[in-house]
Amino acid sequence: MAHRVCPWWLGYFLASPIRRWLLSPEPIVAPYLRPGMTVLESGPGMGFFTLPMASTVGASGHVVAVDIQSKMVTRLKRRARKAGLLDRIDARVATGNSLGIGDLRGRVDFTLAFAMVHELPDGHPFFSEVAAASKQGALLLLAEPAGHVKASEFDAEIERAQATGFTEVERPSIQRSQAVLLRKK
């Protein structure tokens, strides 16, 4: 499979009310979030999931949103400021080789990787960084678009996550996606 990063300008559609009407983010992430949690979101785009997660974790919580595209991060911050949630969000630009989350070692309660791992040339470094940042028992929700990522490719992503210390908990149903919930051992 060719590895291409979603163009930054497509972020406007991904954060639009039309997408929210088709796929509401709250029911997808709410079962795994509580106030005060530290959440990691990789590939947040312009904040479709980021803003609802920041609202759910509350003033005592924290969402670290990491994207490889600076334009996505700039627009995410703008949307977060407008929503009054910027103080709960640490929006970062990743490098091509790293998420840049070494400072989070053992602090993350929940990670969301929604429709982004397939854009990586090799998911193993990603899962290694997430595992290092995660507390024991932390959850990772991995979801990929069903029509875009083959089942065998998704299974390979799960195997890479398991090789870094995650175990499968369940396969939640997410519209037009294949998804797995994993827990750090």
CATH of the domain at 105: 3.40.50.150
Residue 77 lies in a domain: yes
How many domains does one find in the chain? Answer: 1
Beta partners for residue 108, in sequence order? 134
The residue written with tokens 């750090």 in the block is 184
pLDDT band with cut points at 50, 70 and 90 for residue 19: low
Residue 130 lies in a domain: yes
Residue 154 lies in a domain: yes
What is the rounded average pLDDT for all residues in the chain?
Answer: 89
Distance (Å, whole) CA 85 – CA 80: 5
Taking residues 79-106, report their average pLDDT.
94
Chain centroid to Cα 153, Å, comes to 18
Domain that holds residue 144: 8-184
Residue 22 lies in a domain: yes
Supply the Cα-derived Rg of the chain in whole angstroms. Answer: 15
Residue 96 lies in a domain: yes
The residue written with tokens 């997660």 in the block is 53
pLDDT at residue 59 is higher than 50: yes
Residue 1 lies in a domain: no
Residue 13 lies in a domain: yes
Residue 110 lies in a domain: yes
pLDDT at residue 111 is higher than 90: yes
